Amino acid sequence: MTYDSQLIHETLSRAQKALHEGDLSRANRLLQRLHAAGHADATSHQMLAIVAVELGLFDHAGRHMAEARRVAPAPDNRPRHLLIRAWGAGFWADIQHTIHGLVLAEASGRTPIVYWGRESRYRRAKVDDAWRLYFEPVSPLTVADAEEEGLSIFPPKWTRANLREIRVNKDSGEWSSLSGLYLLKRDEDVTVLDFYTDLDDFAPWLAPGHPLAAADPEPELGRLFRRHLRLRPDLAAEVDRLSATVLRRRPTIATHYRTQSLPKIVEAIDRKGLGPEVYVEAIDRYLAGKPEAGIHLLTDFAPAVLYFRERYGDRVSCLDVARVENIDEKTLELLPQHDGVMLAHQVILDTFLAARCDAFVGDGASGVSLAVTRLKEWPAGTATLFRPGQSALPGHVRRHSDALPWWNPPE
């Protein structure tokens, strides 16, 4: 039996789906039939190597990988793109997701397209791409370039017609919850990243010696944040203005204290809250050496403002931003009375302003605190994260599977 091109494509897709679902027997049958018909290629040999590894048949796995390398076509020069959609969580969680996508684009030789469409909590009606409300584009391309007729797309849940749709099999269904690891070696014209992929999942597979595969990837993450997060001119000018007017005391230690609510606690690996006394101890040590210093407070918790001002008086500065009033409230981005663009502007200004300070103390389980440490090359000893590396974002992040009007403001 001879397969036509469409049947070959469908067979490979079904075999790949079977592998994704752990059905080794079905994947093997489909691929062996394809080979028996004379249609072996690098992709089919690679998938059979995976089957062999899963079965512990390592000699067979080596044989299939050697054959895959032998028959693999030479790389062509056609342009390929990676479309990085919004993750749909907290603002800095979405940024981290986007940064990881930019790394995957570089590693796979693709031009990145950042597209914060209807899944972003930080857009308004009639705003197609929220990323461009805050940052300069990361490349000259837009989502329209990925929608050009004739381009192949992976994963196959995406088509030219639905690339702007909301939550296409994001948490459940075919090709849902797909790690960016699967995008590293694809031949399609367009790959799409819509699900958070932790650094540990793909960093070991980057080129040997890649700085993100080092024991401490933070220096490289900082370089990526500073390289790609180029504020729009109006926001950059506002940061300059606030730096001159709000940070009047010098030196200034920035302090990020976030609401110790249950959703925030479960995002930390140790599943513990972090009380203000930990911050007070660090701030007091700083003030002991610099008694004239100011304190710039970043917080989403209104009672924290009162606490720190009662202790430190008028040396505490903070921006007038939206905050929750009690520990039982939902996090700000889940409260529909708040405008998403307003929240984004506030957290951007606060975070970039903190990076203008002379020292910083924050929570390593918080995306805001991590962003502050990455947006500046801090002199040794001036930036402190309590419980560094303690974010459990991929395992415990809020999935936001509710389809509230917040997701899609009326057009």
The DSSP string of 120-150 is -SS--TT-S-THHHHB--SSS--HHHHT-TT
90 close to 346: Cβ distance less than 8 angstroms: no
Identify which of 203, 78, 209, 217 has the alpha carbon closest to the alpha carbon of residue 152: 78
Report residue 353's pLDDT band, with 50, 70 and 90 as the boundaries: very high
Percent of all residues in the chain with a pLDDT value above 70, rounded to a whole number:
88
Instruction: Kindly state the average pLDDT of the residues 378-402.
Output: 64
Instruction: Kindly state the average pLDDT of the residues 221-236.
Output: 97
Query: In what order do the strands lie in the sheet containing 316-317?
Result: 316-317, 294-299, 252-257, 359-363, 383-386
Instruction: Kindly state the average pLDDT of the residues 36-59.
Output: 92
- Lowest mean per-residue pLDDT among 41-45, 72-76, 122-126: 72-76
The pLDDT score that the predictor gives to residue 396 is: 37
Measured distance CA(286)–CA(199) in Å, rounded? 33
- What's the chain's average pLDDT? 88
pLDDT at 64 over 70: yes
154 close to 186: Cβ distance less than 8 angstroms: yes
Measured distance CA(197)–CA(325) in Å, rounded? 33
User: Could you give the domains of the chain?
Assistant: 5-71 (1.25.40), 81-219 (3.40.50), 231-396 (3.40.50.11350)
Report residue 188's pLDDT band, with 50, 70 and 90 as the boundaries: very high
CB proximity list for 4: less than 8 A, separation 6 or greater:
none
pLDDT at 1 over 70: no
Q: Tens digits of per-residue pLDDT, 244-295?
A: 999 989 999 999 998 765 566 656 666 676 778 889 999 999 999 999 999 9
CA 326-328-332 angle, 5° bins: 75
